Structure 1
Amino acid sequence: MSTPHVLLGLLATGTRHGYELKRAHDERLPRARPLGFGQVYATLGRLQRDGLVAAAGQERDGGPDRTTYALTGAGRAALDRWLGEVEPPMPYVASTLFAKVTVALLVADVDRARAWLIAQRRAHTDRLRELTAAKSAPTATLDDVVALDFAIAHLDADLRWLHTTLDRVADWHREVHT
């Protein structure tokens, strides 16, 4: 994820201070890793240094002064360029799950490798059920549903791959160990 671009996008809707940006990020991207305040303010500092945001004023809401930030013309242009770029599919398989299954198939006998795959499939299935239930919860917002659809699609793909791999364990094991 590009935190600077997400913050630029949030500022495109109006001026905000760091706390509001963190809260808006965590609400709009509900299944993403929450941003830390330090990350927000460090990113705002870089964006300001690069001329993509500017301080728009100070607010005091019963506490310390808070600097509000606004998107600059250069920031809007950078955001528009980023949004206009097609995100290329990942060129490499970079998944802990893939690496773990491959290593399990290399080092374990067929029964043990199959047991690990079945346990992993069970964990994925349990998580899929949790996310599906969360999606139909009465408190689910549209942000939640969009994020859950994304997570569910990825879990479903992992489950299909685990199922296919389970069907191939004996053949794969025989090929590796001959």
Structure 2
Amino acid sequence: MSTSDALLALLEPAPAHGYTLKQDYDRWFAHKRPLAFGQVYATLTRLEKKGFVALADVEAGHGPDRRLYEITPDGVTALDAWVSTPQEPDLFATSTLYARLTVALLSGRDATQVLAGQREAHLTRMRELQKVRRDASGADLLAVTYELAHLDADLRWIEESGARLDQTRQALAAASGRADR
């Protein structure tokens, strides 16, 4: 999800100041990494140049002026297109697990240990999320169950990969011209 799409979505119900948008973004979308204020204002500037948001009001006060932004009809159209367009499934997950395992296999490192360590990290995170899920509702419940489903899929991949490490190691070695490993 891009910051631009998120800010457009947050502006759709009502105009808002950058500070409010940052707080709302962090509440709904930044479970692990809060959005920097600079990124909020840089994104709003880009959206304004594209015609997706407009300055609704400027309030003078102590310190910098407070700017109130609102979504434009073109911004609503862009948001509609983003929401209704299915996400392209990636060939490989954005996780580096695949890359780390491949490097371990190609370099002769202990790939079993890589998988075991990642398995334990996934299980630890799943236990944490199970506790959170008990009291979660609304968007928080959606986020928790989404992460749990992805962790579960990763665990299945870890188990399947572990079961065929020797075969995979041989195939990678042959493909890289290092059949002696």
Q: Which runs of structure 2 are paired with 1:13-162 in the superposition (5 Å)?
A: 13-31=13-31, 33-59=33-59, 64-108=64-108, 112-136=110-134, 138=135, 140-162=136-158
In the alignment, the residues of structure 2 paired with residue 90 and residue 113 of structure 1 have an alpha-carbon distance, to the nearest angstrom, of 24
Secondary structure of the equivalent of 1:173?
A: helix
Moved more, 76-85 or 89-98: 89-98
The verdict on how the C-alpha distance between 1:61 and 1:132 changes in structure 2, with shifts beyond 3 A counting, is farther
Deviations along 1:37-74, one digit per CA (max 9) or x if unpaired, are 00000011111122111111134687653111111111
Moved more, 99-108 or 165-174: 165-174
Deviation at 1:4, TM superposition (A): 0.9
Partner AA of 2:40 in structure 1 = V
In the alignment, the residues of structure 2 paired with residue 113 and residue 65 of structure 1 have an alpha-carbon distance, to the nearest angstrom, of 56
Moved more, 96-105 or 166-175: 166-175
* TM-score (norm. length: structure 1): 0.87
* 2:176 paired residue number: none
The verdict on how the C-alpha distance between 1:30 and 1:134 changes in structure 2, with shifts beyond 3 A counting, is farther
In the alignment, the residues of structure 2 paired with residue 40 and residue 14 of structure 1 have an alpha-carbon distance, to the nearest angstrom, of 17
Q: Report how many residues are paired.
A: 174
Q: Say what the alpha-carbon RMSD is for the aligned residues.
A: 2.1
Secondary structure of the equivalent of 1:43?
A: helix
In the alignment, the residues of structure 2 paired with residue 87 and residue 99 of structure 1 have an alpha-carbon distance, to the nearest angstrom, of 23
Deviation at 1:143, TM superposition (A): 2.1
Taking every aligned residue pair, what percent have the same amino acid on both sides? 43
In the alignment, the residues of structure 2 paired with residue 142 and residue 60 of structure 1 have an alpha-carbon distance, to the nearest angstrom, of 37
In the alignment, the residues of structure 1 paired with residue 106 and residue 131 of structure 2 have an alpha-carbon distance, to the nearest angstrom, of 36
Deviations along 1:118-166, one digit per CA (max 9) or x if unpaired, are 1221111111111121222x3x342221111111111111111011111
In the alignment, the residues of structure 2 paired with residue 26 and residue 67 of structure 1 have an alpha-carbon distance, to the nearest angstrom, of 19
Deviation at 1:95, TM superposition (A): 3.0
Flag the structure with more relative contact order, 1 or 2, with Cα contacts below 8 A and sequence separation at least 6. 1
Unaligned runs of 5+ in 2: 174-178
In the alignment, the residues of structure 1 paired with residue 124 and residue 15 of structure 2 have an alpha-carbon distance, to the nearest angstrom, of 41
Secondary structure of the equivalent of 1:126?
A: helix
* TM-score (norm. length: structure 2): 0.86
In the alignment, the residues of structure 2 paired with residue 43 and residue 174 of structure 1 have an alpha-carbon distance, to the nearest angstrom, of 48
Secondary structure of the equivalent of 1:89?
A: coil
Deviation at 1:115, TM superposition (A): 2.2
